[in-house]
Amino acid sequence: MANYKKSFNFRSGVQVDTDNFVVNANGLVGIGTSIPRRLLDVYGTIRTSGLVTSQQLYVTGISTFDSNVDLNNGTLLIGNNIKLGANSGVITATALNIGSRTVTELVGYSTEAWIIDPVISGIYTSFNVGIGTTVSSTFDLLIGSDPRLNQKGIGFIGDTGNIISSGIITATQFVGIVTASSLTETISNDRFPSPIIKNLQGDVTGIADTARGLTGNPDIQVGVTTASRVVSTTSSVGFATITDTLNVRGKVGIGTTLPTADLEILNSSSNAKLDIISSSGASSRISIGNSTNVSTGTSVALFEYNNQELRIKNKGTGSIEMYLHTGDLQSGITTGSYEWRYRNQVDPLAILTYEGNFGLGLASPTERFHVSGASKFAGNVTFDSGYAFTINSNTLSISESTTTTFSGAVNLNEQVSIGATVVFDTSDYPQLKVPRYTTSKRSGINGSGGSVIYNESTQKLQFYDHVSGTWQTVTSS
């Protein structure tokens, strides 16, 4: 038998050395300890190549399971419902209990968890949140789909405080400013309080049956206003249709916000126009004057168009004056004239230059009265003394039915025909031609003293003797 150097003690059990192996009187086995407190009390590392089966496993401190623990393909089973994958790191369980809350299904998860604030009993996060949809970069909180894309949903924007909704917002009260440009549909009357005591901003479209008025000199900007009476201090209108009466106390500017006259029309891009049009058959007029009653007043002038006729009327006793070139510039070749034209004719029918020359039928009169073409005077033509009546190289014809009286001297430097129907000859000598009659035709003349004819029958010059009432022949004796 071999020699043993170990000490054995079998008194009330078995003991090998001091603490290597102890079986006490109670049957408790201790390895690495002399005072076992369990049926098997091991102080140190246990290594086994077989299966360790235990109803309960109590571990104090940190336990490490590595790949050497290869139970069921690297999975540590805890009961029937908990699995710990040593290789995948996945924990599988039927439920997760946190505090008093039991979670059986997790729809999604985030690496940034909600922050629980126990002071206010709430949760918060610094990220955008989507409920029933994916997260939107525009909205801090989006419920449903994006309402800006004509989809059903509601979005909240924290920076501006805006709420954009595709559906109906029902509330007992709206406090503050409502931006009407965001209200694109019809709002029922029962949705508004009576009266509306807050501000509406943006585009508001609709019809107000009644209005209480405006106070405090507010500014109003509208597209179309239909009203029986509008009173304002200053109004800027893009397009206005007046069906009754427009009363303005102050200046009116069309195309300008700073009119300098009672009515000023300014068109900075094209020609300015003022059209006054009446219905077919009615007259149009512009009244200027001091009388408030245009129909009966006398201190008024009218520009009236009626039945294709334009009339200028001065109902007062004053003059109608027209001034040309009243500015400070000196008159000259660029100074215009008074012209009367017909349609598109080149030369005017009549023209009065700034020098005072009046012309008929020509564009540039050189005398005070300059006529281009034949002229007719139905009455007397009188020339003051000292003025000459000159016919230059042309014919002056006086009809038999007209009496022409020359109170002064008449100088005839060319051929003169009195009642004659024959033409002049081509000589340059002065001539005087009188009417030519036969003796038979002479009897039909109502002769008077001083009448002279040429008798073609006798080929004599005859004059009428009013004393004897007969025609006498002019003789050389």
Angle CA 69–71–77, to nearest 5: 110
13 occurs within a structural domain: yes
Q: Given CA atoms 289, 291, 292, 296 in this order, what sign does their dihedral have?
A: negative
Q: What is the DSSP string of 131-177?
A: ESSPPPSS-SEEEES-GGGT-SEEEEETTTTEEEESS----S---S-
Backbone phi and psi for residue 191, each to the nearest 5 degrees, phi listed first: -85, -15
Residue 7: its pLDDT value, please? 63
- Any residues with CB less than 8 A from the CB of 90 and at least 6 apart, and which? 83
State the pLDDT confidence band at 365, using cuts at 50, 70 and 90: very high
Tell me whether strands 129-131 and 309-314 are parallel, antiparallel or unpaired. unpaired
pLDDT in tens, 334-361: 788 999 999 888 889 999 998 899 999 9
- What is the pLDDT averaged over residues 71-75? 58
- What is the pLDDT averaged over residues 399-405? 57
Residue 324: its pLDDT value, please? 82
Residue in the structure block whose two tokens are 């509601």: 154
State the pLDDT confidence band at 325, using cuts at 50, 70 and 90: confident
Residue 399: its pLDDT value, please? 54
Same domain, 127 and 197: yes
pLDDT > 70: what percent of the chain? 62
Angle CA 148–150–155, to nearest 5: 40
Same domain, 200 and 117: yes
Rounded to whole angstroms, how far apart are CA atoms 201 and 204? 8
Longest dimension (CA), the chain: 223
Q: Which residue has the higher pLDDT, 241 or 258?
A: 258
CA dihedral 192, 198, 199, 200 (to 10 degrees): 0
- Most confident range, picked from 65-79, 151-165, 241-255, 294-308: 151-165
297 occurs within a structural domain: no
341 occurs within a structural domain: yes
Out of 2-6, 86-90, 398-402, least confident range: 398-402
147 occurs within a structural domain: yes
Decide which of 207, 223, 257 is a domain's last residue: 207
Rounded to whole angstroms, how far apart are CA atoms 115 and 99? 16
Q: What is the DSSP string of 251-305?
A: -EEES-SS-SSSEEE--SSS---------TT--EEEEEES-S-TTT-SSEEEEEE
Tally the domains of the chain: 3
Decide which of 320, 353, 375 is a domain's last residue: 375
Tokens of 422: 């024959």
Tokens of 295: 């129909």
End-to-end C-alpha distance for the chain, whole angstroms: 223
Angle CA 234–235–241, to nearest 5: 145
Same domain, 116 and 189: yes
Residue-number span of the structural domain to which 15 is assigned: 1-48
Length of the chain (residues): 477
pTM of the model: 0.41
Same domain, 44 and 114: no
Residue 350: its pLDDT value, please? 94
316 occurs within a structural domain: no
Tokens of 202: 């943006």
Same domain, 114 and 200: yes
Rounded to whole angstroms, how far apart are CA atoms 248 and 233? 9
Residue 74: its pLDDT value, please? 60
Same domain, 115 and 199: yes
Q: Which residue has the higher pLDDT, 114 or 451?
A: 451
Tell me whether strands 452-455 and 436-437 are parallel, antiparallel or unpaired. parallel
Angle CA 437–439–444, to nearest 5: 75
Rounded to whole angstroms, how far apart are CA atoms 413 and 209? 93
- What is the pLDDT averaged over residues 446-459? 86
Q: Is the pLDDT of residue 405 over 70?
A: no
169 occurs within a structural domain: yes
Decide which of 174, 207, 240 is a domain's last residue: 207
12 occurs within a structural domain: yes
Residue 396: its pLDDT value, please? 59
pLDDT in tens, 139-173: 989 999 998 888 899 999 988 888 888 887 777 77
Residue 445's alpha-carbon distances to 82, 360, 437, in angstroms, are 156, 39, 9
236 occurs within a structural domain: no
Q: Is the pLDDT of residue 179 over 70?
A: no
- Any residues with CB less than 8 A from the CB of 166 and at least 6 apart, and which? 144, 145, 147, 150, 151, 152, 153, 154
pLDDT in tens, 184-196: 666 666 666 666 6
- What is the pLDDT averaged over residues 106-116? 63
The mean pLDDT of the chain is 76
Q: Is the pLDDT of residue 292 over 70?
A: yes
Rounded to whole angstroms, how far apart are CA atoms 356 and 324? 11
